[in-house]
Structure 1
């Protein structure tokens, strides 16, 4: 609900299209900062409570309980402050809305009849799938890799439980840095070209992880995390900007369109995670690199899916 209310305000703001992209970029930058804060909290809790461990197990559940409580408190506080500050905006928005700007059943049918809504929805699904798989399975891949490292290898000596928070943190820092300069690239080349560039960067990061050997230096993992963070930032921001372009001046459709796009994201991403977990071997010894290959194929497949959907959207001049 908080996400939809944020996004539906973007098309409601008057001004040229590039200002919507800039606002979407700012919103994503702040969300990345929140994610960076989360991983900093996770790193501090894991590091300062027995930080010499190389793996994480059931005995560490109290650490994750502390992380969940801290993050939930901070998130709830920020949400309350946001809605308290939006009271004046909501009152003026309702007073200024004309009767013909109300979303009606014919307008809803018109939205469903447009193929562009399905295209922008799948673009957003692909970008969110890249981000979600990176968020969920990067720590699992690292934990799996640390469990099967050769005892006397360089990678084994470098391995630490801190990497479970450190590598995703680097990915989010990369997302933050990318989002700061993204608006200048979009102004010059457009959202579609930027989305394609994000898919290419993310795909290169997947190939880099696939080429990792069991004794590869951890610098390769951090480099791939930087690429995946940058790719996910570019694709997510530009997919939201393309959705805002689809809404255009029909601002009364904003909340409904973003609800459809978000629903498609949650449903398809949830199905993807369920399939991944269903195909997992019962014993980790039977599939010692399951999360490694899952991470590569799922993220790489998301980038390919985004490119395919984008190819069908390129001839469209409406957005």
Structure 2
């Protein structure tokens, strides 16, 4: 049974609030704290690091608890946690782009840092709860590879559209703000506040659409349809059991050795339910962790440092911090359209390699752009297109491979997604903190120019190469485990 259009659409918009906030978080947080609030490079990096660590710690814990409990008043485990996370994000995020209560430009930096840390922690914990439970719905809603890729593509299409909305909003706010200065300063505090409020209000509307449009109990109904209306019986939830079941629930594997009982209304199914600890004995779990970490590093580092590359290296007007990232995500949206047909003829890991090559081409190009050069002002658009195509392809393919790894083990799906996200959050936070501490810029000088060239042209490509190698190794091992993936046709039709 395929999902209805309304369910797909409602699922797709369920992460929009997170996506809108994440776009501002990665694109503008460092700029806001450093150039508007006048934090030092290192302290601005520490603010982001605190958030990433909080997110990283919360993610596996939320995933573990979501797999075990959280079904509030029959609302559904995943949707209950999603709702709690949405509330936390909506209440805390706008305050991050406002000056702390009672503060002014003379308030000590450490006092402001202490004020923002709890807000960052609340925001990131809520973000984690929403993200993990939204991802954990994919292997429960989709029962084959093509459908999982489709849901991932729809989800990421709305991620791209969310980023586009943030950059369009940013461009319009800056353009009509009445502030004539070309470079960011403390005078732009009101603009960032307005953007944050617009982001949260828009995201809240889409979150409501998700909660009204996706009915978690419909997942079990789909199992009924696909199993010809099996009748409910009693089952033991042990590691390896023989049980009488009718309708597999969220903790029941669909793939198991079945033996037919004496009546058509009862089916004896021998199922083995995976525990969270079982994943630590699988090498594919660690390979996927490396792949996911590198993919997210490439996507997030490029998103964080592209605006700084534009303002400090190319010395472009502040409106370009909205225009160029906007082009990145428009091209990314185009990439989501072509990924699904490609999966019918190519394996996910091969498409990932194609995306990685595009990222490498874009980052290499950044070496040759210079300040006050008319050619550079034109070339930056093509660089953005390549970067958008590449980062979108590798992220969609990575998420699709992660969904395949989870497969029918939906009883621990949230834990797996949480563990993968842990590597993402912590690595991103540490990488950005290290880069910020190595940042030699204390003024707009040649050191700033060269530093962000190194970040864009060496750091990001190095991580991308590791990700490409990890994807190739993981795909080779996974194909040996699942021979059905040896041809793209079998993979789509499985």
CA drift at 1:109: 2.0
Say whether 1:3 aligns with 2:131. yes
2:345 maps to what in 1?
Answer: 188
1:253 maps to what in 2?
Answer: 412
CA drift at 1:175: 0.3
**What TM-score results when the alignment is normalised by the length of structure 1?**
0.89
CA drift at 1:235: 0.5
CA drift at 1:213: 2.6
Superimposed CA distance per residue, residues 47-81 of structure 1 (whole angstroms, 9 cap, x where no aligned partner): 11237543212221211111111101212232233
Say whether 1:178 aligns with 2:329. no
1:288 maps to what in 2?
Answer: 448
CA drift at 1:280: 0.9
2:252 maps to what in 1?
Answer: 101
Distance in 2 between the 1:248 and 1:146 partners?
46
Distance in 2 between the 1:139 and 1:11 partners?
35
1:167 maps to what in 2?
Answer: 324
Q: Does the 8 Å contact 2:352/2:393 carry over to 1?
A: yes
Output the aligned Cα RMSD: 2.4
Of the three residues 402, 427, 430, the one matched with 1:243 is: 402
Distance in 1 between the 2:152 and 2:283 partners?
23
Matched position secondary structure for 1:50? coil
In structure 2, the CA distance between the partners of 1:271 and 1:27, relative to structure 1 (3 Å rule), is same
2:289 maps to what in 1?
Answer: 121
Higher relative contact order (CA 8 A, sep 6+): 1
CA drift at 1:118: 1.5
Matched position secondary structure for 1:240? helix
2:216 maps to what in 1?
Answer: 89
- Whichever of the two has the greater Rg, that structure is 2
Q: Matches of residues 1-319 of structure 1 in structure 2 within 5 Å? A: 1-50=129-178, 52-86=180-214, 88-90=215-217, 93=220, 96-98=247-249, 101=252, 107-147=275-315, 159-214=316-371, 215=373, 216-281=375-440, 283-284=442-443, 285=445, 287-289=447-449, 290-316=451-477, 317=479, 318=481
Unaligned regions of 5+ residues in structure 2, if any? 1-128, 222-231, 233-246, 254-271, 483-494
Distance in 2 between the 1:45 and 1:220 partners?
26
The number of residues matched between the two structures is 307
CA drift at 1:302: 2.3
**What TM-score results when the alignment is normalised by the length of structure 2?**
0.58
Distance in 2 between the 1:261 and 1:228 partners?
23
Q: Does the 8 Å contact 1:24/1:237 carry over to 2?
A: yes
Matched position secondary structure for 2:476? coil
Q: Does the 8 Å contact 2:311/2:317 carry over to 1?
A: no
CA drift at 1:218: 1.0
Structure ranking higher in helix proportion? 1
Q: Does the 8 Å contact 1:126/1:305 carry over to 2?
A: yes
